[in-house]
Amino acid sequence: MRCLIYARNTDANWVRAVFPGLEPYLLKLVNKPLLEYFLDFASLLKVKQVRIVSDTSSKEIERYFEKGQKWGIDVSYALAHPEDSVKNVYLKNISFCKEDDLIIMNGFFFIEYNRDSLSQRVSFADLGACMDSGKNLYYIPINVNPSSISFCRFDQSIRIRELENVVEYFKLSMDILANQNKHYVLPGYSNEKNAFYGISFIYPHSCQISKPIMIGNNTRFRDHTIIGPNSIIGDNVVIDDHSEVQNSIIYDNTYVGPDLELNQKIIYRNMLISGLTGDYIQISDNVIISYLEQGIMASFFNVLVQRLIALFLILLMAVPWLVLWVPLLIITRKNLTEYIMEKRGRIKKFCDPLSIKRFWLGRVLLHLSLDKFVRLLFAFAGRLYLVGNHLYVNNAINRKLCKDLEVYNPGVFSLIESKQSGEEAIDEFYELEYINNCSTRNNLVILVKTLYRRLVHGF
């Protein structure tokens, strides 16, 4: 038996939009390219020869599958025009197709089957003619002219699942991991149910891993990370300290920065994609997410720069803070602090500018940004960023806002403070602007602008 796969890229334009630079048929479902599932399916049906026809360059596909030795199948390649129908492709490859019974796979889809029962259940002799030639999966017996009869199809026990957008792709990936992982040959090893681990996987004792889980090769989780359940981690991935990844997909060669919460997200290169809506943003800050080597180096540089500046400001402010803050407490005899949401929603008490502003001594303290002193100590210790998202007061509205943000890494200083609009909708816009344009250089600009604004205008 032979198999003709028409890997038509015009059926998968959404993949190129959401996953730029990726060959659509190499899009990974649970760390395995879509087209590899096609070859697995063909192998289970005792197919000996496969021809993959593409309407664009097939070099990436050829580089991955080579001659098909891994699957025990002879794989060859051909090209077609984007406007070619499946019948045209059949006729252009007639010398390949007419020599044996033929399976045709046409389009961008996923075949749902159970590997344990597939070869025993499917009987080609029992399949009748089908009048619907728009299906994705066809069977043509030898010596039958497809121009004279309609294409035949498999019975409905084999389900075709369309992949029309990134939301469908995300749902299918989670479904395979959680419910169908025994139906297919998936990468990784483990004696545990619903757990697939690659080679050279390193994680500390403080890391918490929950099943179902898929973890690729050469992957490393750092201290106090929480991974899973329902998480698919690719090859060569580093997830930094205190980050959580749940119900999410992280593609190969990715660095995920510290203190991030990823839930129902897809990370591809520096793209942050919602698995629920398909919306995506490009993250320019290598400290948050990026290619692996670049992200680690940028993270190290950014953390070093922020801590050195925080230390400098602590030394500069220490004496003035003692001179002004202690007398202010004695004079007012009031609680001048407020509960603020720190990293990962933890609650801390910090100076409340609105309370301090009511006293002339407090206004001097605000002009000199001395209300930030204790926060700077937290930034030097790594508990806060020097520049990051705005530190919000702990209330229901702000908790929802922080949860809805793609990233919430609060800092001592923020873009909102450098603008100070005072309007909720505009402040939320500034938060999104900061996430989209975050970089070490931009952080330094925000820091200088905020310090200058406070010195001139106060809080």
| 139-156 pLDDT tens trace | 787 776 665 544 444 555
Asked if 204 and 120 sit in the same domain, the reply is no
Asked if 12 and 136 sit in the same domain, the reply is yes
pLDDT of residue 314: 92
Q: Which tokens sit at 259?
A: 């203190």
Q: Of the residues 121, 142, 163, which one is the last residue of a structural domain? A: 163
pLDDT of residue 411: 85
User: Torsions phi, psi of 315, nearest 5?
Assistant: -65, -35
- Whole domain around residue 28: which residue ranges? 2-163
For residue 184, tell me if it sits in a domain. no
Separation of alpha carbons 151 and 40, rounded Å = 23
Mean pLDDT across the chain: 82
Domain tally, the chain: 3
pLDDT of residue 291: 56
Q: Of the residues 238, 259, 282, which one is the last residue of a structural domain? A: 282
User: Torsions phi, psi of 202, nearest 5?
Assistant: -120, 130
- What DSSP string describes 88-102? HHHHHTHHHHTTS-E
* Beta-strand runs (E) in 121-236: 137-140, 159-162, 195-197, 208-209, 213-215, 220-221, 226-227, 231-233
Q: Which residue type is seen at 243?
A: S
For residue 125, the Cα-to-chain-centroid distance in whole angstroms is 45
Do the bridges between strand 347-351 and strand 337-341 make them parallel or antiparallel, or are there none, so unpaired? antiparallel
pLDDT of residue 114: 85
Q: Which tokens sit at 223?
A: 């201290």
Reduced to 3 states (helix: H, G, I; strand: E, B; else coil), residue 227 is strand
User: Shortest CA distance to 49 belongs to which of 95, 81, 115, 86?
Assistant: 95
pLDDT of residue 125: 44
Asked if 300 and 269 sit in the same domain, the reply is no
Q: Of the residues 235, 255, 282, which one is the last residue of a structural domain? A: 282
Asked if 265 and 300 sit in the same domain, the reply is no
pLDDT of residue 129: 35
> Which residue positions in the chain have pLDDT lower than 50?
123-134, 149-153, 297
For residue 26, tell me if it sits in a domain. yes
* Beta-strand runs (E) in 43-82: 49-54, 74-79
Reduced to 3 states (helix: H, G, I; strand: E, B; else coil), residue 5 is strand
Separation of alpha carbons 322 and 186, rounded Å = 61
Q: Which residue type is seen at 297?
A: M
Separation of alpha carbons 241 and 349, rounded Å = 23
Q: Supply the CATH number for residue 272's domain.
A: 2.160.10.10
Q: Supply the CATH number for residue 18's domain.
A: 3.90.550.10
For residue 190, tell me if it sits in a domain. no
Buried b (16+ CB within 10 A) or exposed e, 393-421: ebeeebeebbeebbbbbbbbbbbbbbbee
Asked if 40 and 86 sit in the same domain, the reply is yes
